[in-house]
Structure 1
């Protein structure tokens, strides 16, 4: 008698049926949290390619990389940083509405420092401007963190205070005017290039990589998720939630300050009224699109980066398609609603049940008719 063929040699698992491994891989891939953001981003990029045939072209000019994809990365770098800090705050079941004001304050302080110096282009002046902006951002983050963690103020209320007051502070710094600076060293932060690549993209990538390393290679990420997921259990486990909450708000303010330096240095000016206006809403949307729930707990840094790139690509798509300015926000809102619905497991489940419902009803009706005929017979 011959032994049956060993299927484990073909599937990699003892006794596993043929095709089980590819099926398991596809099922795991379909359930991955980054699948839908990646597909949405790919669809937006391909949609731009349909209207702009050289959309994917990347060329080297004057020793620098140029192209639509490079522009998306460069202009999306500030949003990536702001959304990164917002992810940490949302993971603790909080929110930070003051990041836009922090962006404006950081840019205003840096430009004011450079404009008032005797040598705007020197490295010392630029480093001093960056240090002043980041130092004030730490103070702003501490204010938010202390209000939330120590005084028990609701995060949306605590950060709303700085959102309103901070915009006024930025306008006081600039005296209600647009401060223009001419400094090559400062321009490098947001509009310069290093090793043929935009420096802003390299800086944002370094911050994302460092944050991922610290939160995933140490216990810090788990502690943040525990504080947001189950605060009561965290207290019983001895986790000092107040210190962690203060830390994440300080980190969020620092990310917003770096984004403010990028924005102001790219245009070489500071506008206390419009710089970073409504960027907090785009950051929250990027976090949600990336798969991090507003209820706190588990967070996804990779999903946040994809969400920020989706929003920036959507803005590029609006200009590419020539959408009228008065309908731009409506167009973006419509696309965002579609994206959120596509990502929603509840929506997809309801749609799948609705597609299968007519078949189920027809089958049930046929069975009922058959039973009635049998009873009559």
Structure 2
């Protein structure tokens, strides 16, 4: 009896977990695609390229940039802030990479690729630090600060590229987005490696607890001796760095930066991924694993929209319906209302217990 009760409690705990319903939604979307095309989940191996080929692989590749910005935004939101600038930081990173490689004109140079990536990530981190300085030291609201940076970032990208879409040729950078290792996309493996490193740094040290503390109660954390300003600088810098990595991923796939479209509205996908993963926009406790599940869900949803042939004009509404339904399912308050309704529903004559 006690064992069955404990098993029931485990099941309830899983259902109440932050990312359970995100996983359910991913499986439902894949099931919908599978109903339309029974071969949707088929994987094949190409011995020439040493890669697995299939829709699942395409989803993993598409998820890589969303994973990066979602993890960065997750840390910022945990402090009680927000970062609306990640999409614009992406385009700045891509612009620096493509402009440098175009000027270098060394298609096979690993050195040129490494220097271009280093410059892009350095500038992305600086933009993140600017956000952190304005929030932590100047005292501006995170929403206003990152909104300004969102507008300024695209302006910076246009200055770098002189307002033109820039293309370049460099095989090492192209391999990052289009290459394979162990049969899987390199871009996804890099994203996973970065997430693992961030998770270890955040969860195996006091950093994660301090981030949660300033998100729950900034005044109490300051009285406890936490360096709130330093922590804010850290999380905004990390968000900028991860957005820079996402920008390289996005531009390296086609070796072109589009100053108007690269990273466009991806900040909204990042915020949605974080919320789907169970992190509260009010700050405090956060879940990097939940953000990862949310990012995979967004990538799966985007792929499903294209596969089902949903018109582009109706795509935002379709995504909104799916995400709202998911949020309602994951809401403890909504589930409790349904439970109360079942308990208060009167019995029918056939169900009435005889006296």
Shorter-normalised TM-score: what interval?
over 0.9
Mean CA deviation greater in 115-124 or 260-269: 115-124
Aligned to 1:333: 320
Work out which of the residue numbers 89, 98, 101 in structure 1 matches 2:85: 98
- Cα distance in 1 for partners of 2:285, 2:96 equals 35
2: distance between equivalents of 1:314 and 1:72? 9
Bigger CA radius of gyration? 1
Encode CA deviations 1:34-83: one digit per residue, 9 max, x unaligned.
Answer: 22111111111112111121121111112111111111010111001000
8 Å contact 1:97–1:156 — kept in the other structure? yes
Distance 1:344 1:21, change over 3 A: closer
Whole-angstrom CA distance in 1 between matches of 2:284 and 2:14: 22
Task: Please say which of residues 171-180 and 26-35 is displaced more in the overlay.
Answer: 26-35
Greater relative contact order: 1 or 2 (C-alpha under 8 angstroms, separation 6 or more)? 2
Q: What is the TM-score normalised by the length of structure 2?
A: 0.95
Provide the rounded CA distance (Å) in 1 between the counterparts of 2:309 and 2:125: 41
Aligned residue among 166, 187, 202 for 2:189: 202
Q: After the TM superposition, which residues 183-262 of structure 1 pair with which residues of structure 2 at under 5 Å, given as runs?
A: 183-262=170-249
Cα distance per residue 1:256-282 (max 9 Å; x no partner): 000000010001101111100000000
8 Å CA contact 1:77–1:200 kept in 2: the answer is: yes
Q: Check conservation: 1:121, 1:186, Cα contact below 8 A.
A: no
2:142 to 146, 152, 155: 155
1:115 alignment counterpart: 102
What is aligned with 2:254? Answer: 267
Aligned to 2:164: 177
Count of aligned pairs: 350
Q: Does 1:125 align with 2:112?
A: yes
Distance change (3 Å), C-alpha of 1:98 and 1:59: same
Q: Is the 8 A contact 1:140 1:253 kept in 2?
A: yes
1:48 corresponds to 2:23? no
Q: Structure 2: which 5+ residue stretches go unaligned? A: none
Instruction: With the length of structure 1 as denominator, give the TM-score of the two structures.
Output: 0.89
What SS is found at the alignment partner of 1:136? helix
Query: C-alpha deviations, 1:5-30, integer Å up to 9, x for none?
Result: xxxxxxxxxxx645233223223223
Q: How does 1:31-46 map to 2 (within 5 A)?
A: 31-46=16-31
Question: Secondary structure of the residue that 2:253 maps to in structure 1?
Answer: helix
> Which stretches in structure 1 are left out of the alignment for 5+ residues?
1-15, 371-377
CA contact under 8 A between 1:174 and 1:271: conserved in structure 2? no
Provide the rounded CA distance (Å) in 2 between the counterparts of 1:173 and 1:212.
33
**What is the 5 A alignment of 1:270-349?**
270-349=257-336
Alpha-carbon distance in structure 2 between the residues aligned to 1:355 and 1:27: 18
CA shift digits 1:241-297 (9 cap, x unpaired): 100000000000000000000010001101111100000000000000000000001
Give, in whole Å, the separation in 1 of the partners of 2:74 and 2:67: 10
